[in-house]
Amino acid sequence: MEHATVFPDRKSRTSLIPDDAQAALLRQHRLSADVRRAGGSGVDWYPLVKLFSDGKYRIVFLITEMAEDGDTVFGLYNFGFSLPAPATGPFSLAVLEAGWDGQTIFRDAGFHAGGRLSAYVGYASLVGRVEDDCWHRPNLLQRGSDRGSLFTEEQLYTLRKNSSRQAEARWKFDMADLVPVVKLVERKPGAAWLITEIDADSDTLFGLCDSGNGIPALDTVSAFVLSRGRDSGFLVERDDSFIARAPLSAYARAARKAGRIVEVS
């Protein structure tokens, strides 16, 4: 996947997170930056790293991104004693390594995210603390016509299989460069989506998203929202003429140059 080569001229700045995990976190940060440039808030990533303390205060961090400085990380955190509820935002690894209020911070080497960050935020808001459990949205596409209007059963099978492949890649702090399975289009505004995978909630899609503003980016989008015509009310349709000819990264490169999703050879 693009942005795979990171921190080429420096040694790792933290012992809390291994180099391959730092590379993956920076890659996610750079891809989120593309979304923010397009006017979004960033990608709803799966957390890749969990940090925690074993002291008297229950400190937990679920990290999704790392900034270019190699110190600032982003995600969901709970300081226990200092905040009444978990919060999201940036924090410094250097501060953690120095010891937070005398507590030693460790990495949970066995952590494997069961959902995207928003799912952990949703669950944490219910129980008041960060847990390994996360809240999954109800399966919104089980009402027949909603699902069938966007994907064939064969496409759904491939999207779910790709999600499993991506989960295996995340375990290795990697990102699979998958071939788009389906192209969705919104005819009048000119928006389009090249989708590679669907989450276990049967709603969250991941792929190359082009809202028609000239800044396409890799991002998540709700299948339920698309099936209902998005906010604009225009109908979203499946482009049955689309045949994928390259991995998603190739489409992303071509789209950035053209300012919209285009065909690749």
Q: Each residue of 10-66: pLDDT tens digit?
A: 344 568 899 999 999 999 999 999 888 877 788 999 999 999 887 666 788 999 999
Buried b (16+ CB within 10 A) or exposed e, 125-146: eeeeebbeebbbbeebbeeeeb
Kindly report the number of other CB atoms within 10 A of residue 237's CB atom: 14
Choice among 3-7, 154-158, 222-226 with the minimum mean pLDDT: 3-7
pLDDT at residue 208 is higher than 70: yes
Q: Residue 212: CB partners within 8 Å, gap ≥ 6? A: 186, 189, 190, 191, 260
List the end-to-end C-alpha distance of the chain, in Å, as a whole number. 18
The predicted structure's pLDDT at residue 30: 94
User: Domain locations in the chain?
Assistant: 19-127, 145-258
Kindly report the number of other CB atoms within 10 A of residue 151's CB atom: 22
Residue-wise pLDDT for 99-125, tens only, equals 767 778 889 999 999 899 988 888 887
Residue 4 pLDDT level (bands cut at 50, 70, 90)? very low
Q: What is the spatial distance between Cα 162 and Cα 95, in angstroms, rounded to a whole number?
A: 38
- Pair of tokens at residue 236: 């979203």
- pTM, full prediction: 0.83
